[in-house]
Amino acid sequence: MTQTRQPSLAQTIWLRENSSAADAFVEFAKKKHFLSLDGLRCLSILAVIWHHTAGDRYSSDSLLFMGHHGVTLFFVISGFLITTLLLREKAQHNTISLIRFYVRRALRIFPLYYLVLLIYCIAVFVLERNSNAGRNFFENLAYFATYTSNYFVALHGDRVIFYFAWSLAAEEQFYLVWPAIIKWLTETGAVIAAITAIGVALLADAGLLPWPDSHMLTVILRHIAIPICIGVLLAHLMNNEKCFTAVYRVLRYRCVPGLLLVSGLLCLQLTGIFILVAYLFMAALLFCLVTRQTGFLTHVCNTAWVIAIGQVSYGMYLFHMLVLNAIKLIPLPNFLSESPVFCQLTLFLLTSLFTFWIAKLSFVYFESYFLGLKRRFIIRSETPT
């Protein structure tokens, strides 16, 4: 009688891990709403508000100064999410409708952006039209209106009104170019394009291109958002079953998300090309939280109030400087003004709270109308995504 050979312990563990990773990939491929993304958006916008209310008062090598990297996390999320949706549309329909994509993005981004820009125009004209900052704002208005401020508006001095629009310009430029690349290139070609974009941006930032730094092409290449490209590469990795399962087996342990978060925060102090390490930690953390159903960070990112903030993070980003400047006009009690720490925390909390409520009202009573129109341009599928 032939005896059946029992698998060894190592083989059993490998088979179990491989099956778990394969199941995770199938589950990820079926999802239409990705877990924890709103939680990460909440973390991003609160970090940005902290930076503008208090963080910029600390030295540049302090972790408390690093709130501006909330925008970096926004970029990684955006690159991942947009690329994933485009890859799935292409897989289901063998093409990508660029017109529908651009209309969807326009209906999501433009109405609130131009409303806030109009509010800024009125406020600056009434309050600061004779100041240097006010005059510079109107000189830069064409760049803000055309999403090119990251190319033409530099942060000179202490104050540039509406300067934060540079990140929205970088996003729009990504939306304009990347869908066509996904549509016309193979997955391998798109990955090579993203890696090339990262390399060219690093060369441009180091001044190693054969054109002068003032050349327009150098300016454009220097402002390629590398974290968006990292998010793009993450989307391609997670779209490939072999790559997904290999990474999942490494990152599946319960302690990993916490370690990635701490490591990513510590690496934010790196400079030059080494800052890429922090971006990679952000991408790995995003991978973990999107694919995990349990764990402390997953629970935090999916609590009701965190999701509520994340859902209106775009509006909060646009409104937060208006709210901050309005709150600064209110005199603080003496016991707060005498303590810099309490003053900073109070300013941060008040700005976050009032910005959230304004963004929530905007979302419900203004943006929702355009989001309803946006749904008309979603390509429906007879099979699950």
Conformational region of residue 232, where left means phi above 0, alpha means psi within -120 to 50, and beta covers everything else: alpha
Mean pLDDT comparison of 4-18, 19-33, 118-132, highest-scoring range: 118-132
What confidence tens digit (pLDDT) does each residue in 335-358 have? Answer: 566 677 788 898 999 999 999 999
Q: Taking residues 308-328, what's their average pLDDT?
A: 97
Percent of residues, the chain, with pLDDT higher than 90 = 75
- Computed over every residue of the chain, the mean pLDDT equals 90
Dihedral (C-alpha) 236, 237, 243, 248: value to the nearest 10 degrees?
-140
Q: In angstroms, rounded to a whole number, what is the distance separating the alpha carbons of residues 23 and 112?
A: 40
Residue 334: is its pLDDT beyond 60?
Answer: yes
- Residue 251 class from Cβ within 10 Å (0-12 exposed, 13-18 middle, 19+ buried)? middle
Q: Taking residues 307-330, what's their average pLDDT?
A: 96
pLDDT of residue 368: 95
Nearest partner of 285 among 306, 265, 256, judged by Cα: 256
What confidence tens digit (pLDDT) does each residue in 63-105 have? Answer: 888 999 999 999 999 999 999 999 999 999 999 999 999 999 9
Nearest partner of 97 among 188, 183, 193, judged by Cα: 183
What confidence tens digit (pLDDT) does each residue in 265-312 have? Answer: 999 989 889 999 999 999 999 999 999 888 899 999 999 999 999 999
Instruction: Parse the chain into domains and list their residue ranges.
Output: 36-58+67-377
Output the pTM of the full model. Answer: 0.92
Measured CA angle at 190 (ends 186, 191), to 5 deg: 120
For residue 138, what are its two tokens?
């109107």
In contact, 176 and 183? CB cutoff 8 Å: no
Residue 384: is its pLDDT beyond 70?
Answer: no
Q: Between 340-362 and 313-328, two packed helices, what is the crossing angle to 10 degrees?
A: 130
pLDDT of residue 48: 97
Residue 381: is its pLDDT beyond 90?
Answer: no
Which of 23-27, 228-232, 284-288 has the lowest average pLDDT?
A: 23-27
In angstroms, what is the C-alpha Rg of the chain? 23
Residue 361: is its pLDDT beyond 90?
Answer: yes
Which of 41-50, 238-247, 303-312, 331-340 has the lowest average pLDDT?
A: 331-340
In contact, 287 and 253? CB cutoff 8 Å: no
Q: Taking residues 25-51, what's their average pLDDT?
A: 93
pLDDT of residue 31: 86
Sign of CA dihedral 99, 101, 104, 105: negative
Residue whose structure tokens are 């990262």 = 198
Conformational region of residue 94, where left means phi above 0, alpha means psi within -120 to 50, and beta covers everything else: left
In contact, 70 and 45? CB cutoff 8 Å: yes
Nearest partner of 150 among 168, 134, 132, judged by Cα: 168
Q: Taking residues 227-239, what's their average pLDDT?
A: 98
Q: Of residues 9 and 360, which shows the higher confidence score?
A: 360
Confidence of residue 3 (pLDDT cuts 50, 70, 90): low
Q: How far is CA 123 from the centre of its chain?
A: 28
Q: Looking at this protein, which amino acid is placed at residue 118?
A: L
Q: Of residues 138 and 18, which shows the higher confidence score?
A: 138
